[in-house]
């Protein structure tokens, strides 16, 4: 049984990845993972492949055992794995709830790592892993610092994993978008700490670019020439200068 697995599939980029993978690959099933089962069920009417809703909260470590048990029971061939589940908080580190910030690490880094580790034994030659990183992966970001650090982990992990898995014929790509207007902002933004957003892309624009880069087997996908130029600048300029510029943009 050939399948794709998409986490964070109930909304935003995860949902758009389901649609794109469904049209790009010939699959028996797409396993869609998120907490909201009713949102997952809606995908069936929009896809050719059979949709298998897997209602899990990946911020909870117990969910790993449930996913592992499902893999062992079904013994699928995973052609594509997309780790799109994630969360963040914008604000001052010391003024935000500690448990909520630890949840960012649990979901963005720990769960992504666990899902990769459990899935790889079921991935054949010429399969793909797509991990959702961020434009925040490239530098420290004050007032989004836990989120940014978690995405820096995703970038580093993905690029190194891609080297390790190359001999197995498994391609790994990190997607590093700039600002995307999705439900993420409804949960991440709770005050006006972050005021300046230079430009927004849609989730579909980012996913469409990611799928093009997937065909080329790139290790990193970045949507938008301005974002790519920003990444180049960040690599060349001193870190302190980058952080000061960011803080000035936010009125800090």
Catalytic residues: 147
The phi and psi torsions of 126 (rounded to 5 degrees) equal 65, 40
In our burial notation (b when 16+ CB lie closer than 10 A, e otherwise), range 134-145 reads bbbbbbebebbb
Task: Name the helix (H) or strand (E) containing 237.
Answer: none
Q: 80, 23 in Cβ contact below 8 A?
A: no
The phi and psi torsions of 82 (rounded to 5 degrees) equal -120, 120
Distance separating alpha carbons of residues 5 and 29, to the nearest angstrom: 9
| Residue 1 burial (CB count, 10 A) | 11
Tokens of 230: 């920003």
Q: What single string gives the DSSP state of each residue in 184-210?
A: HHHHHBSSSS------EE-HHHHHHHH
Specify the residue for token string 């030659």.
125
The phi and psi torsions of 70 (rounded to 5 degrees) equal -65, -40
Distance separating alpha carbons of residues 87 and 179, to the nearest angstrom: 14
Residue 182 is classified by DSSP as S
């Amino acid at each position: 049984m050939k399948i794709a697995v998409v986490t964070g599939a109930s909304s935003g980029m995860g949902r758009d990845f389901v649609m794109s993978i469904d049209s790009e690959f010939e699959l028996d099933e797409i396993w869609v993972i998120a907490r909201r089962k009713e949102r997952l069920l809606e995908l069936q009417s929009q896809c050719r492949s059979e949709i298998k809703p897997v209602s899990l909260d990946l911020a909870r470590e117990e969910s790993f055992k449930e996913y592992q048990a499902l893999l062992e029971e079904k013994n699928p061939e995973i052609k594509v794995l997309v780790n799109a589940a994630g969360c963040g908080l914008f604000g001052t580190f010391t003024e935000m709830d500690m448990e909520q910030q630890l949840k960012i690490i649990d979901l963005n880094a720990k769960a992504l790592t666990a899902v990769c580790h459990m899935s790889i034994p079921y991935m054949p030659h010429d399969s793909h892993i797509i991990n959702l990183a961020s434009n925040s992966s490239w530098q420290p970001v004050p007032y989004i610092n836990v989120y940014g650090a978690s995405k820096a982990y995703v970038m580093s992990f993905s690029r190194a994993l891609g080297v390790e898995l190359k001999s197995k014929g498994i391609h790994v790509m990190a997607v590093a978008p700039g600002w995307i207007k999705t439900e993420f902002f409804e949960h991440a933004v709770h005050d006006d700490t972050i005021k300046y957003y230079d430009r927004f892309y849609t989730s579909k624009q980012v996913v469409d670019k990611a799928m093009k880069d997937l065909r080329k087997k790139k290790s990193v996908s970045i949507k938008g020439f301005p974002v790519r130029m920003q990444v180049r600048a960040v690599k060349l300029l001193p870190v302190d200068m980058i952080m000061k510029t960011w803080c000035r943009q936010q009125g800090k």
